[in-house]
Amino acid sequence: MRRIEILPGANRHKRPSWAEFIFALDSWLRRREGVFEYSHKPDCIFRAQLSRLAWGCRFNRSFAESLRRLARFLMNEPGLSDIYIIRANINLDPLHRIAARHGFEAIRDPVRLLPWERVHRFGENILYWLLTLACNSGRAWPNKFWRSRQLMYLSRRVLDCKHIAATAGHLTPVRHEDAGHC
């Protein structure tokens, strides 16, 4: 007896009800974010989203502006003068590169999570895993349940050199390698 595979573009009535629920959730999220499928071929795995501004450039500018505001805030709060390190918990791989451009460094350290943080991460992982499972229904189980999360650190000295200098009217930002010479 031959096994019949049900592909994403195949007849949806043969999918289990839990898979239908996952596809309905995915459809709602896509509509909400303006993401669409530009091809109905079952082997096409990409989706698209139209935007007037480039997301990466806009996000990079917002990231830099947020760091400038953080630097100004810390500078204007005397009670926070003893803060030397800023920690960011980044859970998307492309954001690691953007954060690194602004002086953040990845340092592996075993930080114990609070119980509610574990529950939140678990919920994110369930949604990602179920979407993967629903898209691969009848073929193979997803091989990755846990999403990548990276703790990154920014020294106060680098923050001040790069972002206070930028707000003071300096035209050239301080490179991370030159932060010690600020």
Q: What are phi and psi of 122, to 5 degrees?
A: -60, -40
Q: Is residue 121 part of a domain?
A: no
Count CA atoms within 13 Å of residue 5 on its CB side: 9
Identify the domain containing residue 81 by its residue range.
56-109+144-181
Gyration radius of the chain over CA positions: 22
What global pTM score does this model have?
0.49
How many domains does the chain divide into?
1
Residue 168 is predicted with a pLDDT of 59
Whether residue 44 lies inside any domain: the answer is no
Are 147 and 62 in contact by the 8 Å Cβ rule? The answer is no
- Hey, is 31 helix, strand or coil? helix
Q: Is residue 29 part of a domain?
A: no
Does residue 148 form part of some domain? Answer: yes
Residue 32 lies in a domain: no
Separation between Cα atoms, residue 102 and residue 65, nearest integer Å: 11
7 is a domain residue: no
CA–CA separation, 160 and 176 (whole Å):
11
How far apart are the two ends of the chain, measured CA to CA in Å? Answer: 73
Q: Which two tokens stand for residue 135?
A: 């898209």
Q: Is residue 88 within a helix (H) or strand (E), and if so which, with residue range?
A: strand 85-90
Instruction: Kindly give the confidence (pLDDT) of every residue in the chain, 182 residues in length, as a single tens digit, with 9 standing for 90 and above.
Output: 444 444 555 555 578 888 889 889 888 888 888 888 888 888 887 888 887 677 678 888 898 999 999 999 999 999 999 999 998 877 666 677 888 889 999 877 566 778 888 888 888 778 877 877 787 665 555 556 666 677 889 999 999 988 887 655 543 443 434 444 55
34: alpha, beta or left, given left = phi > 0 and alpha = psi -120 to 50?
left
Residue 35 lies in a domain: no
In a domain, 95, yes or no: yes
